[in-house]
C-alpha cells in the first residue's frame, strides 16, 4: 500500500533564506539544536550535502520501538537537491524505519516563493508498506516536519533581528 502526507506552512521568510538551511547540511546541524525532542542527532555518513549524501538520523530516547535500550535511527540518502526550484528529497536506505516494515520511505521539502519576502514550506512524506503491516500507516505523521518548518522560519527571523542589532 502506497500513501503520502503533506504539510504546508506559509512564512514571512524569503524562499532563498530558507533554502540556505533546507538545501544544505545546515538543517542537519540545526535540527538537534533547535528540536532535540524530535531529533537527537544527525551524523554525516558521506557526502557534501548534494545528491548522494547519506546522513544517519537518531531519534531521542523517548521514541522507542524495540526496548528501552534501543533508539530509533536510520540512514537517509539525498536523491534530489534542486537548487533552482528549491526541492530536496531524501529516502530511507537503511535502518529501523525499514526494519519496521516500510518498503520505502521518502521525505520531500519544497520551498515555494510566494513574494519577495514570503514563501511556503511544503513537507511531504511518501511511503510504501506491505499488506502484512497495515498498522504502519498510523505511524506516518507530518507533525515533526511541521514543527521543523516553524522552527526554521523562526530561526531565520531571529538571525535577521540579531544581525540588524549588531
Give the residue numbers annotated as catalytic, written as ranges.
Answer: 88
CA distances from 157 to 9, 73, 133, 146 (A): 15, 31, 42, 17
DSSP state letter for 137: G
Amino acid at each position: 500500500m502506497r500513501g503520502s502526507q503533506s504539510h504546508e506552512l506559509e512564512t514571512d521568510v524569503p524562499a532563498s533564506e530558507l533554502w540556505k538551511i533546507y538545501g544544505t547540511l545546515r538543517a542537519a546541524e540545526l535540527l538537534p539544536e533547535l528540536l532535540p525532542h524530535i531529533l537527537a542527532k544527525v551524523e554525516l555518513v558521506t557526502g557534501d550535502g548534494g545528491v548522494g549524501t547519506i546522513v544517519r538520523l537518531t531519534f531521542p530516547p523517548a521514541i522507542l520501538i524495540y526496548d528501552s535500550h534501543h533508539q530509533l535511527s536510520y540512514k537517509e540518502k539525498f536523491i534530489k537537491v534542486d537548487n533552482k526550484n528549491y526541492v530536496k528529497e531524501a529516502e530511507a536506505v537503511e535502518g529501523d524505519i525499514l526494519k519496521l516494515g516500510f518498503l520505502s520511505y521518502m521525505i520531500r521539502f519544497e520551498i515555494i516563493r510566494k513574494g519577495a519576502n514570503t514563501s511556503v514550506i511544503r513537507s511531504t512524506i511518501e511511503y510504501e508498506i506491505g499488506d502484512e503491516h497495515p498498522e504502519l500507516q498510523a505511524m506516518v505523521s507530518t507533525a515533526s516536519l511541521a514543527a521543523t518548518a516553524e522552527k526554521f522560519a523562526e530561526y531565520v527571523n531571529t538571525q535577521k533581528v540579531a544581525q540588524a542589532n549588531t
